[in-house]
């Protein structure tokens, strides 16, 4: 145990030297209920999968939320259901949740939204294109949308002196890791245009903090979010063929897809399939709340500034593709048809994080396991077999 804490003390020092963060006092207990109020938060991409779950957790934590989204990969219905679950108005009439359709590549559109409200205490930035394969085929589109959109957003926030920022990054910035578990000081080397947009934006945020210490930024590197809200009212609703494993499995289970293709059955893993660090989306959403509470504590002077600090959000445990398939079989009560296919270029055998720094800095840790991830996914998918906008057929499975 002593060695563990020493290792993370060294990590903090390395983060300072590398420009990824600043030495901080490290809480040893979970976030206190007496944390300063979060205030009003701008959430970009808040109608999407992670954004909608985070918006709900922010509302439950007492924040006022303004969501902006261009709806290219999301629908407004998700926010109507968030309002329902949070017990607030979906039209902004009570001031708790407001939505504005907005394109981040249009700075005038961002300015119009920001000027409509008196002030913002912080911003959570989810908005961005995120399909790896699509990014390889359309790199310029990804660089323009993700990087130019972020630059526009930062410029407009700075003009209004909103310097609290939480960025939705990804474990893809680590590429094929040298060692496991992955810590925040691991080498950064994205292997596709999507990952490079995340890495470039991280560099932009670090440079912004160096130039102006008013910027207080937490970069949250997600591992593999899955699951849904336990109510079954909100969940992942990808457009077209899912790019990620869990929504594809869920669509197989509900009859929208014939079978799952597992890419690679001969990896050096316990069952031959790839191993990843899957995290329940509600745990991930609560990680954003903890990040914003940490920024609020810094604003209030009760905790030191965070500078620009990167934090892994994951469970620290690896789950194989077959583990997940078997978990969904248990949740649904029926086998999941699958076939082993050749490996895909660029895929790696195993990837999972060391989540200790998130607990030390934010007082956050993942609490939900594979059982909840699978059961909540099935509750969402079986109640909404065609997603948000299409009605369920008469013969839809009963959750």
First-to-last C-alpha distance (Å) of the chain: 44
Please answer whether residues 283 and 368 qualify as being in contact, where contact means their C-beta atoms are separated by less than 8 angstroms. yes
Q: Are 132 and 243 in contact (CB under 8 A)?
A: yes
- Indicate if 194 belongs to the active site: yes
- Residue 129 and residue 142 in contact, taking contact as beta carbons nearer than 8 Å: yes
Pairing of strands 40-44, 64-69: parallel
Hey, is 191 helix, strand or coil? Answer: coil
Q: Which helix (H) or strand (E) is 67 found in, with range?
A: strand 64-69
d(CA 129, CA 141): 9
Question: Pick the catalytic residue: 49, 142, 174, 194?
Answer: 194
- 350-351 sheet: strands from edge to edge: 319-320, 275-276, 350-351
> What token pair was written down for 204?
């932009």
Contact 141, 129 (CB under 8 A): yes
Determine how many CB atoms are found less than 10 A away from the CB of residue 300: 11
Burial of 395 (0-12, 13-18, 19+ CB in 10 A): exposed
Distances (CA, A) of 189 to 5, 21, 169: 27, 18, 13
Alpha helices for the chain (secondary structure H): 2-18, 49-60, 77-86, 107-116, 132-137, 139-142, 149-159, 193-211, 245-253, 281-300, 321-332, 356-362, 370-383
275-276 and 260-263 beta bridge pairing: unpaired
Exposed, middle or buried, 343 (CB in 10 Å: 0-12/13-18/19+)?
Answer: middle
Task: For residue 67, give both structure tokens.
Answer: 């969501």
- Residues tagged active-site: 194
């Amino acid at each position: 145990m002593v060695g563990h804490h020493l290792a993370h003390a060294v990590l903090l020092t390395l983060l300072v030297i590398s420009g990824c963060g600043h030495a901080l006092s490290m809480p040893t207990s979970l976030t206190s209920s007496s944390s300063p109020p979060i205030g009003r938060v701008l959430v970009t991409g808040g109608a999407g999968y992670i954004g909608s779950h985070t918006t709900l957790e922010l509302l439950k934590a007492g924040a006022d939320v303004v969501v902006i989204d261009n709806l290219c990969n999301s629908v407004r219905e998700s926010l109507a259901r968030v309002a329902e679950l949070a017990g607030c108005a979906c039209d902004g009439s009570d001031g708790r949740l407001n939505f504005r359709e907005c394109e981040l590549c249009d700075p005038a559109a961002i300015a119009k939204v920001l000027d409509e409200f008196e002030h913002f205490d912080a911003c959570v930035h989810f908005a961005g294109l995120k399909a790896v394969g699509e990014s390889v085929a359309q790199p310029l589109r990804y660089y323009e949308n993700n990087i130019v959109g972020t630059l526009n957003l930062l410029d407009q926030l700075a003009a209004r002196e909103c310097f609290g920022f939480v960025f939705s990054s990804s474990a893809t910035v680590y590429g094929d890791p040298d060692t496991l578990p992955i810590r925040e000081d691991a080498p950064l080397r994205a292997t596709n245009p999507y990952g490079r947009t995340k890495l470039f934006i991280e560099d932009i945020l670090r440079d912004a903090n160096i130039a102006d210490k008013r910027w207080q930024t937490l970069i949250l590197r997600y591992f593999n979010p899955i699951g849904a809200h336990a109510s079954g009212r909100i969940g992942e609703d990808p457009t077209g063929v899912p790019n990620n494993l869990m929504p594809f499995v869920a669509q197989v289970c509900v009859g929208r897809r014939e079978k799952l293709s597992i890419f690679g059955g001969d990896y050096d893993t316990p069952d031959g399939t790839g191993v990843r660090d899957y995290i329940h989306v509600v745990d991930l959403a609560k990680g954003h709340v903890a990040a914003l509470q940490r920024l609020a504590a810094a604003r209030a002077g009760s905790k030191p500034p965070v500078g620009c600090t990167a934090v892994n959000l994951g469970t620290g445990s690896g789950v194989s593709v077959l583990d997940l398939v078997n978990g969904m079989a248990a949740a649904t009560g029926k086998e999941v048809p699958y076939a082993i296919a050749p490996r895909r270029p660029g895929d790696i055998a195993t990837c999972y994080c060391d989540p200790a720094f998130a607990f030390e800095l934010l007082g956050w840790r993942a609490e939900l396991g594979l059982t909840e991830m699978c059961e909540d996914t099935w509750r969402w998918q079986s109640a909404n077999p065609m997603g948000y906008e299409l009605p369920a057929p008469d013969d839809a499975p009963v959750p």
